[in-house]
Amino acid sequence: MCVALSRERIGNDLQIVRELLRHVVRRSVAKRRAHAHVKAEPACGRLQARVHARERAPIRLVGALWRSVGTGFGERKQLRRRRRKKLRDRQLGAERVHLAEVELQDRCCLRGERQARLAAEAKLAAQPMKPQRVYAELRRVLPPETIVALDAGAAPAYGYDRLSFARPRTFLTPLDLGGLGFAFPVALGAKLGRPQAPVVAIHGDGGYLMNSQELETAVRHNIGVVTIVMNNNCWGSEKAYQKHFYGGRYIGCDIGNPRYDQFARLFGAAGYYVEHPDQVGDAVQKALSESSPAVIEIPIDPDEFPTPVAAIKRPE
Ligand SMILES: Cc1ncc(C[n+]2csc(CCOP(=O)(O)OP(=O)(O)O)c2C)c(N)n1
Ligand SMILES: [Mg+2]
């Protein structure tokens, strides 16, 4: 089987494509117990990957390609839609080669779109801060071995698409179970399990108060987890629904909070309060460098919510 991709169709990012093809084939081979040899190189404006399979049909480039590189939520949805369309007429090996070509093209431009979006977010200077900017700072300073636990809630949810995870077992999330208060105690367990790794819990204000009493546990056992509380003084996820489904008629979703840096100090932990985007990185690095538990409060824009999926799916 031979996959040939013209440079015009995939853009100029040859390095990405080469890596992608190698990865794809490695995964396909591991799964299908076929033997493959890849040669992917730009020549005369074309890239080629050769796959020699013991059996003819079984290498499924498309599936492997689909899982090989992470993309953002929005882009992933687009990609899935296009992929479903393409898969309808998938039957023979030859067609699969064609599909791989198309998918590769999609992925390359989607990756570029995502990178551009993240770069723009890194320049957001609004105050109170946008959660997107907080994640831009975190991407800059978190070491790659950091274990991150995301809570449920709107501000933590921005992190799914905005943090980079390069190592296994470094991303902890309640996924669709969405239990608020999940992140902090889970992060404590992760730190006990892997004491050498930096561990960060990311919370909204409402979710943090659901299990923040465990700060006493953290201090008593000196479990050096850094907790970031993005404070918008509301149940942001609920507010997002009321914004999109009830025209911004908000009921029962605003809440009050203590200052979480002071709250942390009362427990005997370290506390930081960060209002300016440029201070986020320093606070996180300082908190990580000390071995004690720490809480960093970041006031964020109370009107910044992601659009609920149900609102996106709603017919016009
Ligand atoms: C235990 C529990 N109670 C209620 C909910 C419903 N819920 C999901 S997100 C959310 C609001 C979260 O607010 P906050 O932690 O401040 O994060 P924000 O959305 O404001 O960023 C609520 C009430 C839930 N997921 N889990
Ligand atoms: Mg909140």
Q: For residue 156, how far is its CA from the centre of ligand 1 (angstroms)?
A: 10
Residue 254 Cα to ligand 2 middle (Å): 8
Q: Is 229 in the pocket of ligand 1 (CB under 6 A)?
A: no
Its pTM stands at 0.73
Q: Is 206 in the pocket of ligand 1 (CB under 6 A)?
A: yes
Ligand sitting nearest the alpha carbon of 209: 1
**Which atom, in ligand 1's list, is nearest to the CA of 152?**
9
Q: Is the CB of 149 under 6 A from ligand 1?
A: no
24-28, 46-50, 199-203 — most confident range: 199-203
pLDDT reading at 119 higher than 70: yes
Q: Residues 55-76: pLDDT tens digits?
A: 333 333 333 333 333 333 455 5
What does the mean pLDDT of the chain come to? 78
Q: Could you tell me the distance, in angstroms and rounded to a whole number, from the CA of residue 180 to the centre of ligand 1? A: 5
Q: Give the residue, 200 or 85, on which the prediction is more confident.
A: 200
Q: Is 183 in the pocket of ligand 1 (CB under 6 A)?
A: no
What is the band of 47 on the pLDDT scale with cuts at 50, 70, 90?
very low
| Centroid of ligand 2 to alpha carbon of 172 (angstroms) | 20
pLDDT digits (tens, 9 = 90+) for 234-274: 999 999 999 999 999 999 999 999 999 999 999 999 999 99
User: Among the atoms of ligand 1, which is closest to the Cα of residue 157?
Assistant: 21
pLDDT in tens, 269-313: 999 999 999 999 999 999 999 989 999 999 999 999 988 888 887
CA 312-315-316 angle, to 5 degrees, is 95
Q: Which ligand is nearest to the CA of 175?
A: 1
Q: Which atom of ligand 1 is nearest to the CA of 131?
A: 21
Compute the distance between CA of residue 32 and CA of residue 5 in angstroms, rounded to an integer: 23
Q: What is the distance in A from the centroid of ligand 1 to the CA of 74? A: 22
SS (HEC) of the chain: CEEEEEHHHHCCCHHHHHHHHHHHHHHHHHHHCCCCCCCCEEECCEEEEECCCCCCCCCCHHHHHHHHCCCCHHHHHHHHHHHHHHHCCCCCHHHHHHHHHHHHHHHHHHHHHHHHHHHHHCCCCCCCECHHHHHHHHHHHCCCCCEEEECCCHHHHHHHHCCCCCCCCCEECCHHHCCCCCHHHHHHHHHHHCCCCCEEEEEEHHHHHHHHHHHHHHHHCCCCCEEEEEECCECHHHHHHHHHHCCCCCCCCECCCCCHHHHHHHHCCEEEECCCHHHHHHHHHHHHHCCCCEEEEEEECCCCCCCCHHHHHCCC
Query: How much distance in Å is there from the Cα of 236 to the middle of ligand 2?
Result: 5
Position of tokens 């890239």? 47
pLDDT at 108: 62
Of 103, 124, 88, the residue nearest 9 (C-alpha): 103
| pLDDT above 60 (res 113) | yes
Is the pLDDT at 93 greater than 60? The verdict is: no
